[in-house]
Amino acid sequence: MIWLTWRQFRVQALTAAAALAAFAILLAVTGPHLASLYAASKITGCHGFACGNAANAFFGQLAGLDTVVYLLGIGLILAAPAIIGIFWGAPLIAREFEARTFNLAWTQGVTRTQWLAVKLALTCLAAMAVTEALSLIYVWWANPISKAIGVSVGGPQLFSQGVFSSVSFASHGITPLGYAAFAFTLATAVGVLTRRVLPAMAITLAIFAAVQLAMPLWIRPHLTPPSHTVAGIFAADLAYGSLTADVVPGHPDAWILSSQALNPAGQPVTSIPAACSSVSYPGQKGGASALTPAQCMQSHGYREAISYLPTSRYWPLQWTETGIFLALAVALAGFCFWWLGRRRI
Amino acid sequence: MSAVIAADGLGKRYRRKWALTDCTLSVPAGHVVGLVGPNGAGKTTLLSLATGLLAPDAGTIEVLGGRPAAGPAQLARVGFLAQDAPVYAGLSVADHLKLGARLNPGWDTGLARGRVDRLDLDPGQKAGTLSGGQRAQLALTLAVAKRPELLILDEPVASLDPLARREFLQDLMEAVAEQELSVVLSSHLVADLERVCDYLIVLVASRVRVAGPVDELLAVHHLLSGPRRDPATLPDGLEVISASHTDVQTTLLVRTSGPVLDPAWTVSEVALEDLVLAYMSQAAGRRRRDNRRHLEVQK
């Protein structure tokens, strides 16, 4: 059965291996350049404001190719589960129905359960391995950029993806394992239902894209209990006229889940109070005061309440999210066993 | 005589439509059994149930004394060649043999190699590029080389041209003779079955209309022709299967265990095909009458 699985799977496997190798070569070629730029920058051992400047200088030195690879890599890791799912998972069973070869496969001296178990397990493990390998190579390559992002302050928009950002979180750590297993088993299960490869591909793509969107927007923020703090109003993004926090004092890489400006009585406020709205920026002509709105609000006793996830929650959150997707994958695989075990064709 | 397939009240439903209802039949061991019936009689469904590809919705089916596809051992005892002989288009002939060897504990490598050589199949050729006849031969090789006790073939020659059809059946007969296995093959063409089967089951609308060894069936059925008369006036012991009349003449296909002594009849042997068609049209006529009665009641 292992032989048959490999024999039917080897073209896809070799294609994936070739793609992985091409990606690895690209990163291996551009990686040392990136590492030397980082070594030459003054980020290592920097203190205070010097770090932000050094990081920005480092970003400025990155070649166009580095930027392209940086974005391409994240995109590839995010897309890999879907691509693998629709090209490996969707045809896994659906192709047998389309070509009616299930008649052949399920009347050999191997039970349907064994047949499915070997096929699902081996191909799913391969899907997880390829995706995680992509992620690991990329993490190695992008390490200088990640470190620079860690110390940068107000760097270029392109390099502002903290560890908790939706694209970074799903492409680093162990989450690619969960996404790969989920997308693969989803595609297989959909293929079992549709019995047609193309519809299974399309449906899988739609569901997986929806899940990839829903996860960071609505689900991930609730997976682990947040920390709460009340910070000075300076935490708010007042420079842009907004009262939502953009930084947690003392936790520069934290993920801000929600924030709320409070008046001195502790009641929430949604707009800059009148007393401070007329103030203007230092140096602005005709300014009524030398105070910025933030300074004004701070002096009036306004504060910012923030709920956030500190970086210490990064790995618990990674495990939780991966665990959820692995559990879903197990459930979808179980569905395949049950559905085929009913023996209705 | 033990049964290789024993079905009792067997039924199978696709969504709400029954493809097979209340089917009770027994296929004896040691025969090449032809399962014949019109399209939609439930032949494929019955054979899929026998191979365990499907599970019954009603009744029971036992194959070689066990539940179909109950485990690897049961699967190994039954060889199956599905309709249109599906094979993996991307796998070569040699790959298919390897597949058979890896998945079947009783695989006979020598037999498989020998067949492929004798059939002039190129081991390196992709199965997707084989002709229909070659594909059927390859699929049969897979089914035979696992050394089953029972070989089930679903419309094995339906898609083959007459020459390939004859070659396939000849080859099948050789394999059967060598291995002493029981065979069930379905077809809606009696001519194909006549050449290879020694036992016949006529299945119409899930019901067994007639079953028995071919020579026995031929011995007890006669074609009578004589002056026109009402079939109801025939003596006891003669069962009329079909009757046709012209103005002056009546032709009857009858079943009787004894000889027909009435000198008014010219008795002749009946061809297997006519016999099968008579039973099929008898069933069809009965159904028409039932429908008509049903309509009259409704009025």
Q: Do residue A270 and residue A179 come from a single domain?
A: no
Q: B201, B140, B211: which is closest to B176 by C-alpha?
A: B140
Please state the rounded mean pLDDT for residues B47-74.
94
Q: Do residue B196 and residue B285 come from a single domain?
A: no
Q: B183, B124, B116, B114: which is closest to B148 by C-alpha?
A: B183
Q: Do residue B135 and residue B178 come from a single domain?
A: yes
Q: Do residue A210 and residue A279 come from a single domain?
A: no
| pLDDT score of B239 | 86
- pLDDT, tens only, A3-30: 999 999 999 999 999 999 999 999 999 9
Q: With bands split at pLDDT 50, 70 and 90, how would you rate the model's confidence at A335?
A: very high
Task: Give the closest of B71, B84, B95 to A100, CB-based.
Answer: B84
Cβ contacts below 8 Å, chain A against chain B, sum to 85
Location of structure tokens 């009329």: B240
User: Structurally, how many domains does chain A consist of?
Assistant: 2
B69 chain-A contacts, CB cut-off 8 A: 106-107, 111-112, 343
Statement: residue A250 has pLDDT above 50: yes
Task: Give the closest of B79, B87, B95 to A7, CB-based.
Answer: B95
List of residues 6+ apart from B236 with CB closer than 8 A:
none
Q: Do residue A161 and residue A304 come from a single domain?
A: no
Asked if B154 contacts B82 with a C-beta cutoff of 8 angstroms, the reply is: yes
Q: B131, B143, B97, B129: which is closest to B116 by C-alpha?
A: B97
- pLDDT, tens only, B97-120: 999 999 999 999 999 999 999 988
Q: Do residue B8 and residue B54 come from a single domain?
A: yes
Statement: residue B175 has pLDDT above 60: yes
Q: Do residue A11 and residue A107 come from a single domain?
A: yes
Residue B210 lies in a domain: no
Q: Do residue B98 and residue B222 come from a single domain?
A: no
pTM given for the model? 0.90
Q: Do residue B83 and residue B163 come from a single domain?
A: yes
Asked if B106 contacts B115 with a C-beta cutoff of 8 angstroms, the reply is: no
Statement: residue A148 has pLDDT above 60: yes
Alpha helices in B119-211 (DSSP H): 132-145, 162-179, 190-196
**How many other C-beta atoms can be found within 10 angstroms of the C-beta atom of residue B34?**
25
| pLDDT score of A134 | 96
Q: Do residue B105 and residue B197 come from a single domain?
A: yes
**Radius of gyration over every alpha carbon of chain A, rounded to an integer in angstroms:** 26
Q: Contact B103/A4, CB-based, under 8 Å? A: yes
Q: With bands split at pLDDT 50, 70 and 90, how would you rate the model's confidence at A281?
A: low
Q: Do residue A95 and residue A82 come from a single domain?
A: yes
In this structure, chain A runs to a length of 345
Please state the rounded mean pLDDT for residues A35-61.
87
Q: With bands split at pLDDT 50, 70 and 90, how would you rate the model's confidence at A94?
A: very high
Q: With bands split at pLDDT 50, 70 and 90, how would you rate the model's confidence at B140?
A: very high
Q: With bands split at pLDDT 50, 70 and 90, how would you rate the model's confidence at A64?
A: confident
Of B146, B171, B205, the residue that ends a domain is B205
Asked if A154 contacts A52 with a C-beta cutoff of 8 angstroms, the reply is: yes
User: Structurally, how many domains does chain B consist of?
Assistant: 2
What is the span of the domain harbouring residue A129? 2-222+314-341
| pLDDT score of A278 | 65
Task: Give the closest of A4, A7, A100 to B86, CB-based.
Answer: A100
Task: Give the closest of A103, A110, A345 to B72, CB-based.
Answer: A110
Q: Do residue B148 and residue B55 come from a single domain?
A: yes
A110 chain-B contacts, CB cut-off 8 A: 72, 75, 103
Of B180, B205, B230, the residue that ends a domain is B205
Q: Do residue A172 and residue A281 come from a single domain?
A: no
Q: Do residue A27 and residue A172 come from a single domain?
A: yes
Alpha helices in chain A (DSSP H): 2-40, 49-61, 64-84, 90-98, 102-105, 112-151, 166-171, 175-194, 197-214, 274-277, 293-299, 314-341
Q: With bands split at pLDDT 50, 70 and 90, how would you rate the model's confidence at B174?
A: confident
| pLDDT score of B294 | 55
| pLDDT score of B105 | 92
Share of chain B above pLDDT 90, in %: 50
What is this model's ipTM? 0.88
In this structure, chain B runs to a length of 299
What is the span of the domain harbouring residue B44? 3-205
- pLDDT, tens only, A165-211: 888 999 999 999 999 999 999 999 999 999 999 999 999 999 999 99
B105 chain-A contacts, CB cut-off 8 A: 109
Q: Do residue B257 and residue B283 come from a single domain?
A: yes
Over chain A, what is the mean pLDDT? 90
CATH number of residue B284's parent domain: 3.40.1310
Q: Contact B72/A114, CB-based, under 8 Å? A: yes
Please state the rounded mean pLDDT for residues A244-256.
85
Q: Do residue B175 and residue B277 come from a single domain?
A: no
Q: With bands split at pLDDT 50, 70 and 90, how would you rate the model's confidence at B299?
A: very low
Q: Contact B48/A345, CB-based, under 8 Å? A: yes
Q: Do residue B178 and residue B222 come from a single domain?
A: no
